Amino acid sequence: MTNGPLGLRGPAYGFRHDPFAGEADTALAFWPDALVVMRDGIVTAFGDHAAERPRQPDDLPVHRYPDGIIGPGFVDAHVHYPQMEMTGAFGETLLDWLRRYTFPAEARFADPAHAARIARIFLRELLRAGTTTAAVYCTVHEHSADALFAEAARLGMRLAAGKVLMDRHAPEGLLDGADHGIPATQRLIDRWHGRGRLLYAITPRFAPACTDEALRAAGRLWCDNPGTLVQTHLCETEAEIAWVRELFPGAPSYLDVYARAGLAGPGAVMGHAVHVTEADIAALRRSGCGVAHCPSSNLFLGSGLFRLHDMAGEGVRVGLGSDVGAGTGLSPLRTLGDAYKVARLGGARLHPAQAFWLATRGGAEAMRLEDRIGTLVPGMEADLVVLDPAATPALALRTGAAADPADRLFALAALGDERAVRATYVAGRLVHDRDAAGETGR
C-alpha cells in the first residue's frame, strides 16, 4: 500500500518489556509529546517530538492530538462476525446458547447479500473501537468469508479469518463435511491468503462439532499451506470438556484432540482455555499455541475464570478476544475492564501495562504477528489508535485526577468504550475519525 508521509503528534505510550515476564511497574514507556511518522503503511520514525521533528521534512503533514494518547492499534484475537445480530442474547449456557441463538443467526448467512451487509457493519465497528487487526470466525458458507475478506481488503486491514468447518452436532443446513469443507477452504486460501494484509485461518469450530476425520483433514490442510493460521475453541466450559471426553475417549485431554490432528502449534489460536490443567498450560507453552482470553464472554455465559497470570507467567502467548456475540461488545477497552474484574475474582491484579500489552502486543504474539504489528517502533505496520482520556465527563474527571500516565490508561480500561477512541489509523491512513475533522499542523 502506497501513501505519502504523515505524522501524528501528541502524548504516546509504548512498552519497555513484556509486563508478564518482567516487572509490570517499569514496563510502560510514556512520551508527553511524541511524533510518529508513517509512510507507505509503515512506521518510519517514533520518539520525542523535539528530537524527531528536525529530522523530518519541513512540509511533513502532521495530525495533532495534544489531549489524546497515541498507541498501537488494538488486536482482537477471537471474534465471530456472524454473531453481531445476537450480541447480548439472554440467559443460556454455552451449548444451549449455540443451539438457540448462534446457529439460527449463522444460518441467515446462506444469503450472500446478508453476509456482505454484516461484514461492512462489523469492520466499521471494529475500527470505531480502535481495533485494527482481528482473528475472525465466519460461517460454514464460503461466501461469508469472501464478503469479509473483500471488505477488509478495501479498508487495507490486517485480518485473519476463515470459514467454519463442522460436520456434526449442528443443524443440517450448517453441516459441512470434509469432502466439501476442505476444498472450499483451499479455494479461499488460494483467493485471499497473502493478498494485501490478509491471512487465512483454518477454522474447525470446536472439537465436538468436528469428527476425527474432519479434524485430521484440517490438520493436513494447515501443513500444506504454510503461513496460514488455525483458530478454534478450547476448554471453554466444564460441560463442553465432558462432552469432548465422551466423543474422543482415546484422547488424554481436550488439547490433545487438536494436537493429534496436527492443529496445535505456532500460529494456532485457542479461544477461551478457561478450564485448563497445569499439564495443559505446559503443553500450550511447549507447542507454541496462542490463547485468546475472552473475559466478557466468559462472564456473560458464566463459563468460568481464565487463569491469565498462570498462562502468561509461564510463557504462553495470550491475547485479548471480544468473542462477540457471547461477548457484549467489540470495544477492547470494555473487554479490558472485564479482564481486570476476572483477575480480581481469581485473586490477582491486572496492571495497566499488562492490560494494554494483552490488547496489543499480546494479541500480535498469539497470532504470530509480533514482527508486524502490536508495538509502536520503526519498521512496524502503521496501525495506530488515538485515545481520548476526556471522552465523557466522568472519564475526564477520573483521568484529570490520575496519579500518572499508567493510572490514566487504567482509567480508560475501567471506564472507556468506543467513545474514547478519537481516531484509528490503518496502514498509515485515517480510517475512523470520531469528530469527523482532526486538527492538523506542525
Res. 441 pLDDT band, cuts 50 70 90: very low
Handedness of CA 180, 112, 219, 278 (dihedral sign): negative
Same domain? For 201 and 153 the reply is yes
- Is residue 224 over pLDDT 70? yes
pLDDT of residue 92: 77
Residue type, 123: L
Mean per-residue pLDDT, 102-107: 95
Mean per-residue pLDDT, 177-197: 97
CB 14 within 8 A of CB 29: yes
The closest of 135, 129, 153, 127 to 76, measured between CA atoms, is 135
Provide the CATH number for the domain around residue 212: 3.20.20.140
pLDDT of residue 2: 62
- 220: in domain: yes
Cα distance between residue 324 and residue 299, in whole Å: 13
Same domain? For 211 and 289 the reply is yes
- Is residue 277 over pLDDT 80? yes
Same domain? For 145 and 284 the reply is yes
- 105: in domain: yes
Per DSSP (E only), the strands in 143-266 are 158-162, 164-165, 198-204, 229-234
Q: Name the DSSP class of 84.
A: G
Cα distance between residue 178 and residue 66, in whole Å: 54
- 397: in domain: yes
Share of the chain above pLDDT 90, in %: 94
- Is residue 25 over pLDDT 80? yes
Res. 442 pLDDT band, cuts 50 70 90: very low
- Is residue 438 over pLDDT 70? no
Mean per-residue pLDDT, 60-80: 99
Same domain? For 332 and 266 the reply is yes
Same domain? For 178 and 43 the reply is no
Same domain? For 23 and 113 the reply is no
- 442: in domain: no
- Is residue 35 over pLDDT 70? yes
- Is residue 439 over pLDDT 70? no
Res. 151 pLDDT band, cuts 50 70 90: very high
Task: Count structural domains, the chain.
Answer: 2
CB 195 within 8 A of CB 159: no
Same domain? For 60 and 136 the reply is no
Provide the CATH number for the domain around residue 395: 2.30.40.10
- 439: in domain: no
Rounded to the nearest 10 degrees, the angle between the axes of helix 142-155 and helix 112-128 is 40
Domain boundary among 367, 388, 408: 367
From first CA to last CA, the distance across the chain in angstroms is: 25
Listed in sequence order, the residues at least 6 apart from 264 whose beta carbon sits closer than 8 Å to its beta carbon are 255, 258, 283, 287, 289
pLDDT of residue 93: 80
For 343-401, the pLDDT digits (tens) are: 999 999 999 999 999 999 999 999 999 999 999 999 999 999 999 999 999 999 999 99
Same domain? For 10 and 149 the reply is no
CB 222 within 8 A of CB 228: yes
Same domain? For 67 and 78 the reply is no
Cα distance between residue 83 and residue 97, in whole Å: 12
- 404: in domain: yes
pLDDT of residue 3: 80
| Site of grid cell 461477548 | 327
Same domain? For 343 and 318 the reply is yes
CB 147 within 8 A of CB 114: no
User: What is the domain range of residue 244?
Assistant: 74-367
Listed in sequence order, the residues at least 6 apart from 291 whose beta carbon sits closer than 8 Å to its beta carbon are 234, 269, 270, 271, 273, 284, 311, 316, 317, 318, 319, 366
- 27: in domain: yes
- 65: in domain: yes
b/e code 329-355 from CB counts within 10 Å (16+ = b): bbbbbbbbbbbbbbbeebebebbbbbb
Residue type, 28: L
Grid coordinates representing 342 are 476476572
Res. 91 pLDDT band, cuts 50 70 90: confident
DSSP secondary structure string, 91-107? S--HHHHIIIIIHHHHH
Mean per-residue pLDDT, 51-64: 97
Same domain? For 319 and 429 the reply is no
pTM reported for the whole predicted model: 0.97
Same domain? For 315 and 420 the reply is no
Instruction: List the beta bridge partners of residue 59.
Output: none
